[in-house]
């Protein structure tokens, strides 16, 4: 069925220069012999301006931005959050370095909080309800800022309130397969499961548990997964290193879908229709609570039962067991239950995005959007304030250029400081829902810089394949922090690379296949070409799945400046790289989006699909086609007419073809069970295969069930992918 990957054309190879335009419109660099608008139309990216921008990005300014942003905890809708709203508005409305305009955009959104008057509790209780052990309710304090009264108790947002009590079992990462294995040995009905972070989403650990009769879930971060096995705060973990201390707890949102849950596909305004709260899906059906590994150690090492598999073992100096269910007869907890007392409550509250714009001079109705969320769980120095401090430095430098009359972009730039991201990407999702039509028709690209710096080793980037070349170009123009005569690009390729048939060895760029940050609504719902850029650590030196203080009370300015990026030079490198990308997208005469790189990725997807699925599909008389060459398509290169008939409207048409390419992959009916996922190439997938997500998931399900109805779904998703690719290719054909 997939006969050709139809976008296999060298659509990004041709280059339109200002010189060509000068020839067509009779302009010389020394002056104009035509109307005044001609020079504006010919406006292209100015390399000298990029050099000026790079030179003015200041690491100390970024440092001071972060210091200000992290003065107080700023969880969404709290007083601290409002303080950061006012700070953003003050900076973006500054007369000397501000933007053309800045304002707040408000939404009424459904959030979940712990009850400060009734803190959540987890205890081990005897048959007579005597408390034998109480889980620490508040993280240990090492520095004064960690003791701020606004530090929220560790909790699982959107966990229901409840008071389950039962025998404890260990369920590894809480994946469906983990509960399936555990259920073969242990009767899970009425039990409490303890799970570790990783493998499955936060909320999924409880959603997966409920069908087996589990009535409550605990989740912790195993030192093996975050600390390279280190556990002692006497000399190994924070405050002595970047590693998570024993009492550290990762907070988080435990919902599966993104956006406000009461107003699906609608912006959460005051008069918007809201579904009943009981109709919400994708949230834990049973209470769940995160705890520190110091308490998880006590619980897991006391468990009875069979030994858990080797790949379930962690860093504790005991053998992880399934649980009897319950504890060993030799344990002080013998015969005892684990009890959760969860007092979370839900509330509709006002949350603000802060928006700012620089209006374009030639194509003000074409938008390049740059965003990051503003809210955090506690002080949020790395997540998200590293990204916000970088964004503020970009706007300071670019804003001053605009105010001084030195520059104005060809296209409009929109900056978004999103609210309530930590509760499920809410601010950005509501923005895309409110301005769905305008953004769909006018947005060139979205740049996301959330956690700007995980660590200070190398650049990391993910995005649609068409943005690969822009990021490479920018990275080659930025010096790698701390290295002599080495660019960010040259440093990056040493840490992560792949071999491209077209380009040779190049840095590896990831794909935006999930909903890890605010790119989700832009990429998956609107089909806007998107990217996510950060600096990260050397993965050959640590197994940490993320920086260890993530979502804890220890993610402070002190932690960031001491352990993550002393001197803030990696922050500076990200600001320079992301800002360079932003200027290229906003100023380039022809959008620097390379669809031949897209074709290469689709070819790889197709090869994987053929290798994995073709034999079984053909046995069921489902054909993937015999002719799979990417070069078979006869498609007019959208650039091929440039040298003979270039006119402003032609340039505009070519840019629209490039801008709208990802929109052509949208299918609103392809994933009815995946909220807001419409992009048939980049939707999330549980199959874990680098190929078309709908096809991969459908095949995995059909292969497991063997039912003809499930094989029909495989055929359906094969058709969806095939026709989406062909449809996208047709958008690149010269306009009829």
Tens-place pLDDT, residues 552-593? 999 999 999 999 999 999 999 999 999 999 999 999 999 999
* CA–CA distance, 73 with 377 (Å, rounded to integer): 7
> What is the arithmetic mean of pLDDT over 87-107?
98
- Provide DSSP, 47-95: HHHHHHHHHH--HHHHHHHHHHHTSS---TTSHHHHHHHHHHHHHHT-T
pLDDT of 672: 95
For residue 18, the model assigns a pLDDT of 34
Per-residue pLDDT at 24 = 40
CB 658 within 8 A of CB 648: no
Average pLDDT over every residue of 239-265: 98
Residue whose entry in the numeric block shows the structure tokens 């360079």: 580
234-251 average pLDDT score = 98
* Of 416, 429, 417, 604, residue with least CA distance to 501: 604
pLDDT band at residue 736, thresholds of 50, 70 and 90? low
pLDDT of res. 316: 98
Comparing 39-53, 405-419, 466-480, which segment has the lowest mean pLDDT?
Answer: 39-53
- Distance from C-alpha of 221 to C-alpha of 594, rounded to nearest angstrom: 41
d(CA 399, CA 57): 12
Residue 645: the pLDDT is: 46
- Check if the beta carbon of residue 139 is closer than 8 Å to that of residue 315: no
* Whether the predicted pLDDT of 617 surpasses 70: yes
Which 3 state secondary structure label does DSSP give 517?
coil
- What confidence score (pLDDT) does residue 36 get? 66
Contact 251, 155 (CB under 8 A): yes
**DSSP E strand stretches across 232-302:** 252-253, 288-290
Nearest in space to 542 (alpha carbons), one of 483, 458, 481: 458
CATH 3.20.20.20, applies to 47-109+349-587: no
HEC string of 128-159 equals: CCCEEEECCCCCCCCCHHHHCCCCCCCCEECC
- Each residue of 472-505: pLDDT tens digit? 999 999 999 999 999 999 999 999 999 999 999 9
For the chain, give the mean pLDDT: 92
Q: pLDDT digit string (tens) for 498-541?
A: 999 999 999 999 999 999 999 999 999 999 999 999 999 999 99
Residue 421 designated active-site? yes
User: CA 674 to CA 658: how far, in whole Å?
Assistant: 27
- Please state which of the ranges 9-13, 169-173, 456-460 shows the lowest mean pLDDT: 9-13
- Check whether 368 has a pLDDT greater than 60: yes
Q: How far apart are CA 572 and CA 386, in angstroms?
A: 10
Q: What is the pLDDT of residues 713-727, one digit of tens each?
A: 999 999 999 999 999
pLDDT at 353 over 60: yes
When mean pLDDT is compared across 203-212, 316-325, 486-495, 628-637, the lowest value belongs to 628-637
What average pLDDT does range 45-54 have in this prediction?
Answer: 97
- The secondary structure of 306-375 as a DSSP string is SBPPGGG--SSSS--B--SSSB-TTSTTTT-EEEEEB--EEEEEEEEEEEEEE--SSEEEEEEEEEEE--
Residue 620 has pLDDT above 60, yes or no: yes
Kindly state the percentage of the chain with pLDDT values over 70: 92
Whether 38 shows a pLDDT value over 90: the answer reads no
- What integer pLDDT is reported at residue 43 of this predicted model? 83
Q: What is the CATH number of domain 119-342?
A: 3.50.30.30
| Closest listed residue to residue 339, CA positions, set 636, 123, 638 | 123
Nearest to 642 by CA among 698, 685, 589: 589
Residue 731 above 60 pLDDT? yes
Strands 363-373, 411-418: pairing kind: parallel
Q: What is the pLDDT of residue 438?
A: 98
- pLDDT at 624 (0 to 100): 87
Q: Does residue 603 have a pLDDT over 60? A: yes
Separation of alpha carbons 430 and 202, rounded Å? 22
**Token duo for residue 13:** 């190879």
H or E stretch at 612: helix 595-619
Annotate 374-434 with DSSP letters as a single string. ---SSS-TTTTHHHHHHHHHHHHHHHHHHHTTS---SEEEEEEEESSGGGTSHHHHHHHHH
Q: Which of 39, 105, 393, 421 is catalytic?
A: 421
Placement of tokens 């020394």 in the chain = 30
Q: Is the pTM of this model over 0.75?
A: yes
Topology adopted by domain 595-732:
Transcription Elongation Factor S-II; Chain A (1.20.930)
Identify the band that residue 648 occupies on the pLDDT scale cut at 50, 70 and 90.
confident
Poorest-pLDDT segment among 17-21, 175-179, 397-401, 434-438: 17-21
pLDDT computed for residue 626 by the predictor: 45
Confirm if 178 and 186 have CB atoms less than 8 A apart: no
Q: Please give the average per-residue pLDDT across 662-671, as a whole number.
A: 97
pLDDT in the model for residue 9: 38
Interatomic CA distance for residues 244 and 292, integer angstroms = 9
Q: What is the pLDDT of residues 420-439, one digit of tens each?
A: 999 999 999 999 999 999 99
Label residue 41 by pLDDT band (50, 70, 90): confident
CA atoms of 171 and 182, how far apart (whole Å): 7
With b for 16 or more beta-carbon neighbours within 10 A and e for fewer, the 19-57 pattern comes to eebbebbebeeeebeeeeebbebbbebeeebbeebbebb
Q: CB neighbours (10 Å) of residue 229?
A: 15
Q: What is the mean pLDDT of residues 386-409?
A: 98
């Amino acid at each position: 069925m997939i006969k050709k990957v139809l976008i296999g054309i060298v659509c990004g190879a041709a280059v339109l220069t200002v010189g060509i335009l000068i020839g067509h419109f009779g302009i010389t660099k020394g002056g104009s012999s035509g109307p005044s608008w001609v020079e504006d139309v010919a406006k292209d990216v100015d390399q000298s301006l990029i050099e000026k921008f790079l030179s003015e990005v200041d690491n100390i300014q970024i440092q001071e931005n972060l210091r200000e942003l992290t003065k107080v905890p700023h969880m969404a809708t709290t007083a601290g959050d409002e303080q950061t709203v006012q700070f953003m508005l003050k900076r973006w409305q500054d007369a000397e370095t501000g933007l053309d305009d800045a304002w707040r955009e408000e939404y009424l959104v459904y959030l979940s909080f712990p009850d400060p008057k009734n803190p959540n509790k987890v205890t081990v209780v005897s048959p007579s309800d005597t408390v034998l052990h109480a889980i620490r309710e508040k993280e240990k304090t090492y520095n004064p800022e960690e003791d701020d009264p606004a530090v929220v108790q560790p909790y699982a947002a959107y966990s229901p309130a409840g008071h389950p009590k039962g025998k404890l079992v260990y369920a590894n990462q809480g994946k469906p397969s983990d509960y399936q294995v555990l259920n073969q040995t242990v009767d899970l009905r009425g039990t409490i499961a303890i799970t570790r972070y990783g493998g499955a989403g936060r909320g999924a650990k409880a959603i997966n548990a409920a069908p087996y009769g589990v009535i409550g879930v605990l989740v912790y971060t195993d030192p093996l997964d975050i600390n390279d096995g280190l556990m002692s705060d006497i000399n190994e973990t924070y405050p002595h290193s970047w590693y998570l201390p024993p009492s550290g707890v990762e907070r988080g949102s435990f919902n599966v879908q993104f956006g406000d849950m009461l107003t699906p596909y609608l912006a959460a305004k005051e008069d918007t229709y809201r579904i009943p709260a009981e109709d919400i899906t994708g949230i834990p059906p049973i209470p769940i609570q995160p705890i520190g590994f110091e308490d998880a150690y006590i619980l897991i090492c006391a468990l009875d039962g069979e030994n858990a598999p080797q790949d379930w073992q962690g860093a504790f100096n005991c053998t992880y067991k399934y649980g009897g269910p319950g504890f060993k007869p030799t344990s002080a907890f013998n015969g005892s239950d684990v009890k959760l007392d969860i007092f979370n409550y839900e509330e509709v509250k006002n949350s603000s995005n802060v928006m700012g714009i620089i209006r374009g001079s030639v194509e003000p109705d074409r938008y390049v959007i740059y965003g990051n969320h503003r809210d955090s769980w506690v002080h949020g120095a790395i997540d998200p304030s590293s990204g916000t401090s970088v964004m503020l430095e970009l706007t300071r430098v670019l804003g001053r250029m605009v105010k001084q009359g030195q520059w104005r972009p060809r296209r409009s730039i929109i900056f978004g400081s999103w609210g309530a991201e930590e509760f499920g990407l809410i601010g950005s999702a509501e923005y895309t829902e409110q301005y769905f039509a305008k953004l769909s028709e006018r947005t060139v690209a979205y740049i996301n810089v959330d956690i700007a710096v995980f660590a200070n080793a190398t650049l990391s980037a993910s995005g649609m394949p068409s943005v690969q070349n822009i990021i490479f170009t920018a990275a080659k123009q930025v010096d790698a922090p701390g290295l002599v005569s080495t660019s960010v690009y040259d440093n990056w390729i040493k840490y992560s690379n792949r071999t491209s048939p077209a380009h040779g060895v190049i840095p590896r760029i990831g794909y935006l296949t999930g909903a890890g940050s605010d790119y989700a609504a832009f990429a998956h719902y609107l089909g806007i070409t998107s990217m996510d850029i950060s600096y990260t650590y050397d993965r050959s030196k640590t197994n940490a799945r993320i920086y260890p203080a993530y979502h804890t009370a220890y993610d402070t300015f002190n932690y960031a400046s001491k352990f993550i990026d002393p001197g803030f030079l990696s922050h500076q490198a990200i600001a320079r790289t992301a800002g360079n990308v932003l200027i290229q997208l906003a100023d380039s005469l022809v959008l620097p989006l390379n669809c031949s790189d897209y074709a290469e990725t689709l070819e790889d997807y197709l090869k994987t699909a053929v290798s994995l699925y073709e034999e079984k599909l053909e046995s069921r008389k489902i054909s993937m086609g015999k002719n799979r060459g990417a070069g078979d398509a006869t498609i007019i290169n959208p650039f091929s007419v440039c040298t003979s008939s270039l006119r402003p409207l032609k340039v505009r048409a070519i840019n629209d073809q490039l801008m709208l390419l990802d929109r052509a992959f949208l299918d609103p009916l392809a994933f009815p069970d995946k909220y807001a996922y419409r992009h048939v190439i980049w939707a999330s997938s549980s199959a874990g295969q680098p190929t078309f997500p709908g096809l991969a998931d459908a095949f995995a399900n059909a292969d497991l069930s063997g039912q003809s109805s499930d094989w029909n779904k495989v055929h359906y998703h094969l058709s969806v992918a095939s026709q989406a690719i062909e449809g996208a290719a047709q958008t690149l054909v010269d306009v009829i």
